[in-house]
């Protein structure tokens, strides 16, 4: 509980000691192969000041180095300790080293950890993987990073996967918009949230969630939500994309705009938390709850946003 509200973090990444999403796609790999490691490294180096500025703005510690990773068992223990510290009921891990590994991680703390399947819908066995992930591994959602996937996301070849999502009654969380930190992906076949339009229209019995309030594609996300009542948004992350779009956009403005249009039942709180020593990004919870209170949202609507919707979609029992 925080300020009298139950809190569920719908969207976080388990900071495993292995690749976080090994079966998603090859966009980054293709880029490095095209330009070479030296030039790809130069982009990362030139972008570092923006990342450092972001860290200092929030007062976050620097992420621990890969060689200091304590192992996933200890990582999970630290995460439960953080959830207890901040009064968080449960957390959704949307990536975590592949479906099998994330299932194992969630099995260590099944009352606190909820995992998402996270593999490309264009893999030859994508449907079978998804069925196995939910029915055998106990995962409760499906997460995609659209700009990491090579094929057009709306290609009918993936329709059997959406059909399986409907059958399994699981939410589908798809990242659109700019991908990664500074120096990441800003243009791609699948970057526009409106790429989801035909899919959502074809599968109205599936709840699709666009994270980060659309991640710099706010207008398109709102239009998508207008056209497709089965599309929701999550609030996760620092939302610093607002600094890179025209106008004086604020997080409070985003809450007001989405609240006035789609209502509290389609807004889902998340943090995009992952690495230590930061752990749970408590600042995001503080700031976002402050904005909702400042907008005079009724407490029951705030409770929907910060826990109720996630509990409903992920089938979290009281």
Q: pLDDT grade, residue 25 (50/70/90)?
A: confident
**Residue 2 domain flag:** no
Q: What are phi and psi of 191, to 5 degrees?
A: -80, -25
Domain boundaries, position 248: 8-314
Beta carbons within 10 angstroms of residue 180's beta carbon: 14
3-state secondary structure of 66: helix
pLDDT tens track for 101-147? 999 999 999 999 999 999 999 999 999 999 999 999 999 999 999 99
What is the pLDDT, as a whole number, of residue 64? Answer: 95
**Residue 3 domain flag:** no
**Residue 65 domain flag:** yes
CATH number at 195 reads 3.20.20.140
Question: From CA 151, how far away is CA 164, in angstroms rounded?
Answer: 19
What is the pLDDT, as a whole number, of residue 197? Answer: 99
* pLDDT exceeds 90 at position 285: yes
Which residues make Cβ contacts (< 8 Å) with residue 148, sequence separation at least 6? Answer: 21, 24, 25, 26, 27, 28, 179
**Residue 82 domain flag:** yes
What is the pLDDT, as a whole number, of residue 27? Answer: 85
pLDDT tens track for 56-85? 999 999 999 999 999 999 999 999 999 999
pLDDT tens track for 151-207? 999 999 999 999 999 999 999 999 999 998 888 899 999 999 999 999 999 999 999
**Residue 128 domain flag:** yes
* Contact between residue 198 and residue 189 where contact means Cβ atoms under 8 Å apart: no
- In the chain, how many domains are there? 1
Question: Nearest to residue 207, comparing CAs of 258, 166, 159?
Answer: 166
Question: Nearest to residue 94, comparing CAs of 41, 148, 53?
Answer: 148
**Residue 68 domain flag:** yes
**Residue 178 domain flag:** yes
**Residue 1 domain flag:** no
Residues paired with residue 190 on neighbouring β-strands, in sequence order:
none
């Amino acid at each position: 509980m925080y300020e009298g509200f139950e809190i569920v973090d719908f969207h976080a990444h388990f900071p495993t000691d292995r690749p976080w999403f090994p079966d998603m796609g090859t966009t980054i790999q293709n880029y490095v192969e095209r330009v070479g490691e030296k030039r790809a490294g130069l982009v990362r180096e030139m972008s570092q000041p923006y990342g450092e500025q972001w860290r200092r703005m929030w007062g976050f510690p620097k992420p621990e180095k890969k060689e200091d990773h304590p192992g996933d068992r200890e990582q999970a223990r630290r995460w439960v300790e953080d959830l207890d510290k901040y009064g968080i009921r449960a957390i959704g891990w949307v990536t975590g080293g592949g479906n099998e590994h994330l299932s194992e991680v969630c099995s260590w703390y099944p009352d606190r950890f909820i995992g998402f399947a996270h593999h490309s819908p264009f893999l030859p066995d994508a449907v079978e993987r998804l069925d196995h992930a939910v029915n055998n591994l106990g995962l409760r959602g499906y997460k995609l990073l659209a700009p990491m996937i090579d094929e057009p996301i709306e290609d009918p070849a993936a329709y059997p996967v959406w059909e399986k999502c409907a059958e399994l009654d699981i939410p589908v969380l798809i990242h659109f918009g700019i991908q990664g930190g500074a120096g990441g992906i800003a243009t791609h076949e699948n970057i526009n949230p409106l790429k989801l339009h035909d899919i959502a229209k074809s599968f109205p019995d599936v709840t699709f969630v666009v994270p980060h309030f659309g991640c710099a594609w706010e207008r398109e996300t709102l239009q998508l939500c207008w056209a497709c009542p089965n599309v929701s948004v999550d609030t996760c992350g620092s939302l610093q994309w607002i600094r890179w779009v025209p106008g004086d956009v604020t997080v409070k403005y985003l809450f007001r705009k989405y609240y006035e249009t789609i209502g509290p039942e389609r807004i889902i709180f998340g943090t995009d938390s992952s690495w230590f020593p930061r752990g749970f990004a408590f600042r995001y919870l503080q700031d976002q709850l402050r904005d909702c209170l400042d907008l005079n949202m009724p407490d029951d609507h705030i409770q929907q946003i910060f826990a109720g919707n996630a509990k409903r979609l992920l089938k979290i029992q009281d």
